[in-house]
Copies of this chain bind each other. A is one copy, B any other.
Amino acid sequence: MKYEDSGVSIDKAQAIKKDIARNIKSTWGPQVLSEVGNFGGLFKLGSYRDPVLVSSVDGVGTKLLVAKMAHRHDTVGQDLVNHCVNDILVQGAKPLFFLDYIAAGSLDPRIVADIIRGLAAACGENGCALIAGETAEMPGVYKPDDLDLAGCIVGVVEAGSIVDGGRIVPGDRVYALPSTGLHTNGYSLARKVFFDLLAWSVDTYVQEFGCTAGEELLKVHRSYLHDMTALMKTVDVKGMAHITGGGLLDNLPRILPPSCDAVVRRGSWPVQPVFRILQEEGEVEEREMYHTFNMGLGMVFICSASDGAKVMEGKAGAFHIGEIQSGRNEVVLA
């Protein structure tokens, strides 16, 4: 009996590893000291006064199933990196390096290569080294064509520059940057509405979207790194919230002081058609929509009213969506 007989091909794993190596090396600068094949990735931190490492781990959820239906796996790679970048950005950190985990019942080298291409592209755009990864072939844990993808990011911020919302006070303003669509949340519900209830396929052209259902649902989760970094050069950003699972209602309170509410005015930003169709066709209550989807806003941030003009003059295209008032750590939809 050879190891292949039990469903694991070490040679196939080796071939995939070579392809991965080419892509990930394209994201490496002089700070990466390791070679592909080392036991761990080595990253030279460089000079900081009082460095705080900021890390996060995430998956892309059931957006993977849309990728599978559409036979397209590069965008979920980009989604994962950008999601992680945003999760550490909201604490003021810039990304240093990223590690990926790809697991499947049987690794399809073409799919793995697609994912890695997406990961590497997004890492490149965010100035982040794709430093290490694990591809695991697990017959028995996954069915042959099932696949999961997760990743971990590590960034750095000077201790004195951590952004944590602690300085937010009543009277501050709430701003937001638009999402590209669903990003990576609410896909179980969206798939149910579009593919079960409406019986669409990924190839169904949807007039309101101006593209197919698959294209709409695979729109890449946006990274806010460059826009927020540019804004923070001129504006004192007191808090940032990445709007992911749980929507505005769960994510914005994470950065609010206990005695502050955020009043958010519906109608102060454009909500993409995909959310309206999900709400109407799925007969989802509005509060549930705001608890499940980003509703068009991927990044929310808080500044003093005195910084308002500078925020609106910025190139990021921010919306002024509300105000901070005394309260008890809640989002009030007005």
Q: Which A residues fall within an 8 A CB radius of B?
A: 1-3, 5-8, 10, 33-34, 37-45, 48, 50-59, 61-62, 64-65, 87-88, 90-91, 93, 96-97, 99-101, 103, 131-134, 136, 138-143, 146-148, 150, 152, 154-155, 159, 162, 164, 186, 188-189, 191-193, 241-242, 245-246, 254, 282-285, 288, 291-292
Query: For chain A, what secondary structure do more than half of its interface residues adopt (helix, strand, loop), or is it mixed?
Result: mixed
Q: A42-B52, A52-B44 are in contact. Are A150 and B134 (CB under 8 A)?
A: yes
With a cutoff of 8 Å between Cβ atoms, the chain B residues found around residue A154 in the complex are: 53, 55, 154
This protein's copies in its complex: 2
- Nearest residue in B to A188 (C-beta to C-beta)? B6
Bound-state Cα–Cα, A136 to B93, Å: 24
Q: Are A99 and B1 in contact (CB under 8 A)?
A: no
Q: Are A140 and B103 in contact (CB under 8 A)?
A: no
Q: Pick 26 A–B contacts, CB within 8 A, sort by A.
A: A1-B282, A3-B186, A10-B246, A33-B159, A38-B164, A40-B93, A40-B155, A42-B91, A43-B54, A44-B52, A44-B159, A45-B45, A45-B53, A53-B96, A53-B97, A53-B154, A57-B134, A58-B134, A59-B101, A59-B134, A62-B138, A65-B140, A134-B150, A138-B188, A141-B147, A142-B146
Bound-state Cα–Cα, A152 to B62, Å: 22
Q: Are A53 and B55 in contact (CB under 8 A)?
A: no
